[in-house]
Chains A and B, each alone.
Chain A
């Protein structure tokens, strides 16, 4: 029995009384009010209650409401109708072109910009959740000096004075800044030559990109083209999860994984990793190998590819890898020259990166399965040592913009560096660790309030435009720089743009910058489209093999245990920690919410004598951190994997003190996130980890079906052997769904072969349908509210399991078991096949949830409408009811989207066209695994897909007749395995 962990009340950066906190942050004791009533007093009062109840029930006029005539209607706006703006998302590690949906002037949903050939309208979960950060009540609302409110004018005056006299200025920014901002920093340096610009990122691509730039002797980055590769080998690169431009990677990868019934072919993915990543869970063949062995593995692989000796079989024996699998990897790579690709994770040492470059040369990947982008979208980050170097002399002014080194600085001693600076200024959204450590804490605009630009790829230029005017007294970082630059310069030389508009300095600057290349005529048009130019392809540079060979000569010493630190799946490096949607988004592998953990294999756990929820001390060098243990199948033995992003001291009401920080540990410049020798011991104390799924076995039931490509080729009916189809006998008549009876019958098809289990659909659904978060304690009670979840199953080998991902949502059964048990008919069936949920009828008996075989109905145990601040209301989608306490809810197939498409079609006197309705999960799915449409139209996309020989229905044997077809997964391990 696990000791119940009492949740610590979060330390707020802005103190909030308990009754104003959202329910999700309260503990159970805080929520429940003690019952003081006795039986007698209840009877006594009941008469009065009854009278009151009758009286109130009769007087049910809606409370009088106002309706407002504004002096002028805003341009382009129809009240209640959506307007879309093209913009760019710059909060993350890469500038994703996006399309922002605004209703009545407030942004409520973000998706990728479909016109840009990078993410093609797809997005990431952190991008989806960005609207919630915009309306976050914890955002800093006015400038602070030493924690006290100060006006922008006073702050500027002081800062400009100090900057003028400064003999040394250090400006630290994040890496994802646009071309105009970079240009501005250069101009600033012309005016104040003592300014040093450094880039700090907790997680960056410096080792990989840096090494490749070194061995190719050219600036730029290599981009994997998974769509061109038949054989892919990933060395701990989680390219489907956190590494690189994920939506693009997924799309590229999945093009070769979509199979047709007639001519099934697909690519093959080999994965070598110590952790258990999203990419690893999609691998056809997966090797468990310690990170410290990655160098020896790449060297052995290179030798085998060159045909030098039989090193690989020896290697396989030594490291307990499957020899047949390993030899099939080599033969696959050898037989697919120019059609294979090897990628390595960004955390590997220079030696590994250089060797991988050599392997790719051996495979002829350059220019074929690898492309070169000579102008990376983001600045390459400086190492911690370089930043420390800048502080070796006295610093007069230190400016930190949009990055949070005090939290994530390895070794946790950035505040010591700050003491060396005379004046410290931080610019950011929250009073985070860095902002509170600096003299000036200046509030920034949110991405959705900002003007900006970006160059996501060589030749492409995208804009970022505000979709709402600023909510608080904030200012954009670039505008601050501009104000200060104008303040110090005697004349405005070097800043010769149209600057008459002092209210919108930065806007004028961006316009000027866009003009420079005679883009002025296209200004409005490109703002509308969000993008100008086309991707320029560069010839792949030549590899300097000598340099690469030389770099590859290194060795790694490893101890008994090693620690690998990876970015968090949704919080990334911790910057999104105050976003409750992202905190509650389960980790795709462990289904862990609100926390991070020391993930290790069951064997390692046994060896250490620990089990889940035990705290362990991990010591690397002099520093020690504490983490709760979470055994995960598939992780290499003696390896501990932990994610960054938790354990924030001052993230805000939501993110503070959630999970454990690991930034106390400091690696070496050549391996900042991998600690090859750590000491681990049991701490003796306990902690409570909460997961949304605790059991991963299917118990041989036919839920998520899979087969291998060779079996599927032989027998295309392979998915139907396990299925038991009942004879459909009906007790009572139901709707007639024949084409004659109804023109529409909505249905969904989910291709499990495409689904990579990335969870982005869960977040898109949450944003679209106003789904609340519930907090860690309620998650531990199994009361999370996600309408769609990804079920994860493990099969096969105990140590190295095969993973199944299965999106599970309301199946909209034709014989819905929930409908027949509802005593108030709050859940009914529509003539077009929807299982409807009527919130205003629901009385909360929860019979329906108990009778649902898929367990997809969610109940509002508390009033999650209870918001801390009215600004949060702006985040709601006005097309969907915000549910109150005591009401059941579930997936509606995005009925608001169905209705608006229907209305539009009916108004035009047409039928709803195929593809006119996209559910939120379908729209966002980077691998296009979800298809939705009218199954009564035999030519519709979904009808075609549901006809596939891979199509089956989950729990078909219980005759609920679900509307969702799943297409079985096909794996492609090598033939000789």
Chain B
């Protein structure tokens, strides 16, 4: 019906259309994939608080502000009074000598006693019961879940915080070893027999030994109830 040349053109056109469609679809799929759509979430905050400045350069400990992270389920967003511990003393100007808008905003909230409503960045669904203290005391560092927070000017969601991502760690206690890098000397062979061959469970010094009961749980009701 068609000339051979024209037929070839049709073949090429169809192939190009199909492959670009496929490429487009895979791109769409990648972009819309649940884990990817939440990762990298970086909303504007009412006050441009910089973790890079406070935690990175000034090396203020995370626990100074997120004071309940070792005690309770929630890490606690610090009350304004915590900010004012320093900001009632330090100079209100920024480094270039200009009056800092952000600090003035903070002071306004403090004087008017109005709460600051931050955008929640690292969030899990309501049927997930995550406990910060439990993870901290078994040697998981903040960075493992929240990423290099001390380098972020604006807080970004580094990990998907999806169930599969949680189970990556819960299924393999090895990850703890890489990050914490301390070795517990009191470990007996009984304590490590549940680990994959060749791995040694390690924890920060002074922390309790990993026994069988303190293995990261993977059953449903550990997080869903």
- Segment from B7-15, B52-60, B77-85 that makes contact with A: B77-85
Closest residue to A834 on the B side, CB-wise? B221
Interface string of A63-75 (1 = CB under 8 A from B): 0111111111100
CB neighbours (8 Å) of A895 from chain B are 221, 225
Contact A903-B219, Cβ < 8 Å, known A69-B118, A840-B127: no
Q: Report the nearest A residue to B207, measured CB to CB.
A: A909
Tell whether A743 is near chain B: CB-to-CB under 8 Å. yes
Min CB gap B67→A, angstroms = 9
**Contact indicator per residue, chain A 825-849, by CB within 8 Å of chain B (1) or not (0):** 0001111101010111100000000
Q: Please tell me if B72 contacts chain A, counting CB pairs below 8 Å.
A: yes
A61, B120: Cβ atoms closer than 8 Å: no
Among listed B86-94, B108-116, B140-148, B172-180, interface-contacting one: B108-116
- CB of B1, distance to nearest CB on chain A (Å): 33
Q: Is the CB of B117 within 8 A of A68?
A: yes
Q: A80-B73, A80-B74 in contact; A71/B118 too (CB < 8 A)? A: no
Asked if residues B134 and A78 are in contact (CB atoms below 8 Å), the reply is: no
A64 in contact with B118 given A69-B79, A69-B80, A830-B220 (CB within 8 Å): no
Give A273 Cβ to nearest chain B Cβ, in Å: 44
Flag whether B165 is at the interface (Cβ < 8 A).
no
A831 contact set on B, CB distance < 8 A: 217, 219
The residue from B37, B71, B74 contacting A61, defined by CB atoms under 8 A apart? B37
* Interface residue A911 (Cβ < 8 Å from any Cβ of B): yes
Q: B81 — nearest CB in chain A belongs to which residue?
A: A72
The reply to whether the CB of A222 lies closer than 8 angstroms to some CB of chain B is no
Contact with B along A47-78 (1 / 0, CB 8 A): 00000000000111110111111111100001
Please judge, given known A-B contacts A78-B68, A78-B76, whether A830 and B221 are in contact too, CB under 8 Å: yes
B79/A881 in contact, CB under 8 A: no
Q: What's the tally of chain A residues with a CB closer than 8 Å to chain B? A: 46
**Can you name the residue of chain B whose Cβ is closest to the Cβ of A883?**
B127
Q: How large is the interface on B (under 10, 10 to 19, 20 to 34, 35 or more residues)?
A: 35 or more
The chain B residue sitting closest to A880, CB to CB, is B225
| Interface residue B183 (Cβ < 8 Å from any Cβ of A) | no
Q: Which residues of B contact A743 (CB under 8 A)?
A: 212-213
CA distance A828 to B221 in the complex (A): 9
Q: How far is the CA of A559 from the CA of B134 in the complex (A)?
A: 71
Bound state CA distance, A892 and B33, in angstroms?
Answer: 33
Is the CB of A255 closer than 8 A to any CB of chain B? no
The residues of A that contact B32 with a CB separation of less than 8 Å are: 58-59
In the complex, what residue of chain B is closest to A744 when comparing beta carbons? Answer: B213
* Least CB distance, B55 to chain A, in whole angstroms: 17
Report which residue of B118, B137, B220 has the largest number of chain A beta carbons within 10 angstroms of its beta carbon: B220
Query: Which residues of A from 799 to 817 have beta carbons under 8 Å from B?
Result: none
- Contact flag A70-B134 (CB < 8 Å), given A58-B33, A840-B224, A879-B225: no
A906 touches B (CB below 8 Å)? yes
Query: Are B34's CB and A67's CB within 8 A?
Result: no
CB distance from B136 to the nearest CB of A (A): 9
A73 neighbours in B (Cβ, 8 Å):
76, 79, 81
Q: Is the CB of A881 within 8 A of B134?
A: no
Query: Across the interface, do A911 and B213 meet the contact criterion of CB distance under 8 Å?
Result: yes
Q: How far is the CA of A880 from the CA of B221 in the complex (A)?
A: 11
Q: Which residues from 95 to 139 on chain B have a C-beta closer than 8 Å to any C-beta of chain A? A: 109-110, 113-120, 123-127, 129, 131, 133-134, 137-138
For the complex, is B209 an interface residue (Cβ under 8 Å from A)?
yes
**Residue in A61, A71, A78, A892 whose CB lies within 8 Å of B115:** A71
B214 within 8 A of A: yes
Query: What's the minimum C-beta distance from A787 to chain B, rounded to whole angstroms?
Result: 13
Q: Give me 9 A-to-B residue pairs in the complex whose CB atoms sit less than 8 angstroms apart, sorted by A's number.
A: A58-B33, A59-B32, A69-B83, A70-B115, A71-B109, A78-B76, A744-B213, A881-B126, A881-B224
Known contacts A62-B125, A69-B77, A908-B208, then 5 further A-B pairs from the complex at CB < 8 Å, ordered by chain A residue: A62-B124, A81-B68, A899-B221, A903-B133, A906-B214
